[in-house]
Structure 1
Amino acid sequence: MGMMQEFREFAVKGNVIDLAVGVIIGGAFGKIVDSVVKDLIMPVVGMVFGKLDFSNLFVVLGDIPAGVPRTLTALQEAGVPVFAYGNFITVAVNFTILAFIIFIMIKQINRLKRQAPAAPPEPAATPEEVLLLREIRDQLRR
């Protein structure tokens, strides 16, 4: 019973729930970024570099059976080993864009946070000579 109680306390702590929500939102956000890269950015990049479709860049590592078209999908379905470096380029661009978006978001959040007003600086310590002069002055006034 003790372990179940500990697990329940752990599972309902705010940090665990926040993490779960973050993972779910992150997964959905990742799909949005994938779509932005795949449907918006990569076609433009491909057009600039000679109408390349990066997702279909690959090197065949095995023998191609007769009658199998030389497309990535057909080769993978036929079980032919392929080095799909175009897919890697797409994923790397996805990561770079996602990292940049998160950087911008964190930068804006930090900028919008209210900063606590700075505490007034403590006055500098009065030198001993000044303290002695004040003491003499006060004694002379009496």
Structure 2
Amino acid sequence: MKDFFKEFKNFAIKGNMIDMAVGIIIGTAFNKVVNAIVKKVIMPPLNLLTDGVNYTNRKLILREASGNTEEVAIAYGELIEVFVDFVIVAFTIFVVIKFINRFKTKSEDPKNQEVATPKDIELLANLEKLMKEQNKLLKSIKEK
């Protein structure tokens, strides 16, 4: 139990929690944008293509509302809308991650002069270069 709290403290202090909170806030805002795109941009043409069938309101009624009883229905139209939301979010995240990974790969290549190399990669590349020079010197001393 003590290790659990120590691990949580390290997690919170290292900024992972802040990064996660920022991600959640951006994700919530992004969700509103996706909902607007689906409801106001994608669904109307889809409804038009299906002769004005409004998918949001589509449902399979299991029991009609009568008197004191409420209607029981499966709202498959909302499921279609949520599925379209999901596809848009998944595709967008895929594109963003692919974009980030492309730059990450470029930045980790010490021979690529196009993108500024991170300090740790640059130091490792310099260390490798120095070790090669040292090996050449040692080899030439041994040969003499």
TM over 0.5: yes
Deviation string 1:19-55 (CA, Å, 9 cap, x unpaired) is 1110111111111101100111111111112222110
Is 1:117 the counterpart of 2:118 in the alignment? no
CA pair 93-65 structure 1, distance change in 2 beyond 3 A? same
Q: What does residue range 1-142 of structure 1 map to in structure 2 within 5 Å?
A: 6=6, 10-65=11-66, 79-113=70-104, 114-117=107-110
Task: Name 2:116's counterpart in structure 1.
Answer: none
Structure 2 counterpart SS, 1:61: strand
TM-score, structure 1 as length reference: 0.64
Point out 4+ residue stretches in structure 1 off by more than 6 angstroms. Answer: none
Q: Structure 1: 5+ residue runs without aligned partners?
A: 67-77, 121-142
| Structure that is richer in helix per residue | 2
Summarize deviations over 1:72-127 as a string: whole Å, max 9, x none: xxxxxx7311100000000000000110011111111222332413589xxxxxxx
Structure 2 Cα separation of the partners of residues 111 and 10 of structure 1: 28
Instruction: Give unpaired runs (5+ residues) of structure 2.
Output: 112-124, 129-144
Q: Relative CO higher for 1 or 2, CA cutoff 8 Å, sep ≥ 6? A: 1
Q: Give the RMSD, CA atoms, in angstroms.
A: 2.6
Change (3 A) 1:43 1:37: same
